[in-house]
Amino acid sequence: MDSLSYKTISANAATVTKEWVVIDATNEVLGRLASQIAKILRGKNKPSYTPHVDCGDYVIVVNAEKVKLTGDKMTEKVYVRHTGYPGGQRFATAQDYLKKKPEFVIEEAVRGMLPKTRLGEAIIKNLKVYAGAEHPHAAQSPKAIKLNEIK
């Protein structure tokens, strides 16, 4: 019997193989899209998943401006930020951000689903979001996937 067949394999930065993946956000629901993206970024869809290692793939999201929100979230969901000055709290709805900066909505939804640690900060850098259908990562030859094919 092969002695390595029953040993637990723990991935590290040297043994991880990262791929590039393209996801089209057209007519996708924001939360469902973000949870699938977070799963791919984290590497939970791979058999070699290790919780303390960045073993996920690079994810390119195109057509971010065409993402959907269900119910009244388009007008009721509020993003809060602070300028740093007294009385500097600012509010904006999802509708405002989808007009002005549609990448922000997807990035924030995915960021909220990742760990709030140094690892989470490293993983979010593997996400590239673009408002239109074009992206500058053709040299990496990313493969397009459908969200319903992900398990």
Residues 6+ apart with CB under 8 A from 58: 18, 19, 20, 21, 126, 127, 128, 140, 142
> Cβ of 62: how many Cβ atoms within 10 Å?
20
Q: Which tens digits make up the pLDDT trace of 28-37? A: 999 999 999 9
Distance (Å, rounded) from C-alpha 23 to C-alpha 137?
13
What pTM was computed for the model?
Answer: 0.91
Count how many residues are written for the chain.
151
Pairing relationship of beta strands 143-144 and 78-82 according to DSSP bridges: unpaired
Q: Do 126 and 58 meet the contact criterion of CB atoms below 8 Å apart?
A: yes
pLDDT tens digits for the chain (151 residues)?
A: 566 667 788 889 899 999 999 999 999 999 999 999 999 999 999 988 999 999 999 999 999 999 999 999 999 999 999 999 999 999 999 999 999 999 999 999 999 999 999 999 999 999 999 999 999 999 999 999 988 777 6
Q: Which tens digits make up the pLDDT trace of 79-88? A: 999 999 999 9
Report the side by side order of strands in the sheet with 127-129. Answer: 127-129, 58-62, 20-24, 143-144
